Amino acid sequence: MTSPVARRLLTVVCLLSCLLLATQSFAAPLTKVRFQMSWKHQFEFAGYYAAREQGYYADEGLDVDIRELESGETPLQEVLSGRAQFGHINSEIVLNRLQGEPVVLVANFFKVSPLVLVTSPDILSPNDLRGKRVMASANELQSAPFLAMFSYFNVSPRDFQVVPHSWSIDDFKQGKVDAVSVFSSNEMYFLRRDKVPHNVLNPASYGANAYDSNIFTSEQVMTADPTLSARFVRASIKGWQYAFTHKEEMVDLILNHYSTRKSRDALLFEANELERLTLHDVFPLGSVDPRRIDNLADLYISSGQAPANAKDRLLGFVQTPFSNISLSAEEQRYLQQHPVLRVGYSTRAPFSMFGSGEAQGFDIDYVQLLARELGSHLQFSEFAPEDLNQALQQQRIDIALNSGRLPEDGSLQQLPAYASFTLGLVTRANMDPVSSLEALQNKRLALLDSVYDAERLGRYFPAIHFVSCTDVSHCLQLVSRGQADAALGAMPILQYATQLHLYPNLSAAISLHSPLLEVENEQLSLKSDAGVLASLLQKAADNLIPQQLNQLQKRWISNLGSIDKALFTDADRQYIQQHNRVSYCSRSDWAPYDSQSNGSHQGVSADLLALFSSRLHLDFQFYPTASWGAALAALQDGKCDLLLSAIDDPAMQASGLRLTAPYLSIPVVIATRTEQHFVDNLSGVGNQPLAVLRNSPTMQALSRSQPQLRLFPVSSMQEGLRLVENKEVFGMLGGTLAIARAIQQGNFVNLKIAGSSDQRLDLHFALRSDEDALLGLLQRAITSLDSDSGQQARNRIMSSWNQVRFDQRIDYRLVWQVLAIFTLIALLLAWRQHSLHRSNRLLQQAHDELRQANASIAVQNQRLEQLSSTDALTGLFNRMKTDQLASSEAQLAELSQQPLSVILLDVDHFKMVNDRFGHPMGDKVLKEIATVLRRHSRDDDLVGRWGGEEFIVLCPHTSAEHAIALAERLCQLIAAHSYPHRQPQTASFGIATRQPGEAVTTTLARADQALYQAKSHGRNRVEFATPPFTAQPTV
């Protein structure tokens, strides 16, 4: 018999067992979910295998069926039909949404697409694909990565022979096709294993990064269970984190439980390649950048695959589960009852305005961030500033953006400020600089009625006469016309307005220093009884991270600054007021500098004149002529007031016309066959014939300055280059862009720009002798090009017409000469060493002393060399050393056929640091940034100070995508760093990856242009430069 204790113990065990069984029987069942793969089982889907095997899906209450793609199926069809809740797809999901499909993007894992073109070794760029056999599917050729890469080179599938894809690389290996589309994570393994000679055209190398490995669902699934996608994505992210840290384990899992289609080595190769494509050291796994989606949408629309107005369909497309706002039941009901929030705004550029068919600006983007956090849609309406509060009171809108002063009846409320900006003043140019209201005693100050309380200000500044204006443009016009002495406003608004319209008699905006008026706050206004909406908006605002607000600051505010203005005289101002139009003539057949098409003027000169038009407030009207002689006669007869592209030669001097300073200086280069060596100057050409465009400025200048040259006039660039190609002349002479454009358009693959001459073509404006005022204005406009903003504008114009790379090669004659010299030196050193060893023992002591002296000198020389190559302030390489390193690394990259990327960065608003805190503090900030760069760049990277507040990072063996990732990381680290002046500090980055045969100076110039784009697009950002032979869109 059992004892009482044993019976009680048995009873407890039975009760616990029953309780456990009951608990299990009442546990919530797992939600069944089907995930539709886009291909067969392989490491591309390892994150989802890991999430299931490790129980991450079960932890989220999900039972996930991971399903292979069968023949005739697509992930899109499976999800929209309801057979699958989630699908895996490439960038095509953006196109699907633009075409009206009800799909929702919930996560992205590969920031760079693995889709590349493998080509025969002789195909070095997409431009070389013309006339070749390319094996790829129609969908691949229309995919975002290939579309972007082809558009950069003005290439389309019509330019080559498309061969239907056999889904095998055997045709390429056997030479049946010249190029084949492959995945860098799959077929590339077999090409390398079998040592198949090939080249890779990677869209990412040209900045054409497209999202891949996207997880999507349907709007129906999102509506039925809003939490389902969040649970699925959270578990999948954990799965990918596990998969990348346990690659071999996941490979074994795939081979044992999913598929043996690929070998272990191939799967490990795929794992390493896919991890590289995630860029997870920079971007969080699963994250989606809305700007990338926007860029992809632009690409599909420009290619004609989606309607022009299709971007409206992107609203609600991206719904990543990263918001964690806790809402009350009342707040949830409000959102359900108000799915669309009505937002009112008035024009306050750059905060709010209407452009490109939609509301845009800093405030617009901010409220869209809040709506995204709440899952709401927005409807924008524009009002006059004085009507905005009334629209809110009448409940025509729910939210007003910065509605100005609130009515005194307490009917409206304002949420806490989400941004504050310094106030500033714009005055007439002939006034002394003013930075305080106290300095405006007995002056007239223009201000906005809807924003500033003139009555209140009048109590503090009774000697100021306040003038009312309706908007900022009206305020500035009052000052420009002499009806007010100064205008008051937020610095970004004043800066934006003065950039948009150059008022020659106004000063640049100056920050205001006044205890009464220091900042203007950006706030949302609501009705006072809208407590639930106020709570929702504040919760959404509290959930934003600083980087999101920084992005708005970079996009809309940080790129604003006072533009450089020439000094205008009274005669200048009078001329501008009296002359609405100025007619001009130009050459008709000198593309891309000056040409005519259907009566319109095109080219670099036309773009520069358009720039001057905006700066001078003059309307330049083109007067077409048939020839240069006709243009010159039209100027002399008074049919036009101005002549472009004039050169200072005896004929021009004898004409009695007056010339401005050069507005453009063009280097003359020579194009030869590719087998020719460098041409340092034209004296090395000897008596060989050189083609030159007949009656062009190039021919006129060279005939005068270098009469010994044997010039052969031709009617067109194409004719001259054909003569070079056929070896009938040694080379073709012309301006850099003209030669480059002709090589590109004529597809002269066996020609190159072999060097430059000592000649430069200086282009002037020519005017009649009675046009003193216009001459002075143009002189001042040309002078403005010497400023930083002017140089950037000119460089931007030149880059827009630059279509081809410079194919510079190593001069092996020079290499052999250098090797011979070094060999001689080595022999001399060896002989000296041998003689020293045979020296008499009696001289040993003297020899030792000499060696000690030499060692001391060597140490001193090493120190001197270090000093000569090191920047004294930051300890980084200085400009001279960096130039040497860039040149040597470019040569190594050319010889080894390895990529070389260049990162240029410029400290944002550094002048403000010096002005506010002093130059010693500015030096400390530069040293801190140098420390960040030195600590966080890689071992092989070479970091230098490029000059002033500019730095450079040379990245050997680094592709474009890795350089972008490094720059993004450095950009974030600089922004997050703590600086001695206790202020946030950011930097802008420009990146260029050297192309085969490209001169390092060209790579640096492209990086500098990308840096300018980063500055122009808002600062504190990274921009990648497309290759120099990119075909630019015509505006």
Can you tell me which residue has the tokens 């002709």? 742
Residue 51 three-state SS:
helix
User: Alpha helix locations (H) across 870-950?
Assistant: 879-896, 910-917, 919-936
Task: Fill in the amino acid letter for 385.
Answer: P
Side-chain-side CA neighbours of 328 within 13 Å: the count stands at 9
Phi–psi pair at 991, nearest 5 degrees: -125, 140
Can you tell me which residue has the tokens 């002017």? 790
For the chain, what's the residue count? 1035
DSSP 310: G
The rounded Cα 565 to chain-centroid distance in angstroms is 27
Nearest to 127 by CA among 997, 1022, 1013: 997
Nearest to 189 by CA among 283, 104, 91, 262: 262
Cis check: omega of the bond before 407, within 30 degrees of 0: no
Q: How far is it, in rounded angstroms, from Cα 396 to Cα 532?
A: 18
Strands of 598-742, DSSP E:
600-602, 619-622, 642-646, 658-659, 664-673, 690-693, 711-714, 731-735
949 is known as an active-site residue: yes
Side-chain-side CA neighbours of 524 within 13 Å: the count stands at 26
Q: How far is it, in rounded angstroms, from Cα 753 to Cα 902?
A: 23
Please state the three-class secondary structure of 974-1005 as a single string: HHHCCCCCCCCCCEEEEEEECCCCCCHHHHHH
Phi–psi pair at 146, nearest 5 degrees: -70, -40
Catalytic residue among 270, 275, 373, 949: 949
For residue 756, give every residue at least 6 positions away whose Cβ sits within 8 Å of its Cβ, in sequence order, or none: 667, 668, 669, 670, 679, 736
Q: How far is it, in rounded angstroms, from Cα 512 to Cα 628?
A: 53
Taking phi over 0 as left and psi of -120 to 50 as alpha, with beta for the rest, 599 belongs to left
Do the beta carbons of residue 893 and residue 900 sit within 8 Å? yes
User: Alpha helix locations (H) across 602-659?
Assistant: 604-616, 628-636, 650-654
For residue 492, give every residue at least 6 positions away whose Cβ sits within 8 Å of its Cβ, in sequence order, or none: 350, 351, 362, 421, 556, 557, 560
Catalytic residues: 949
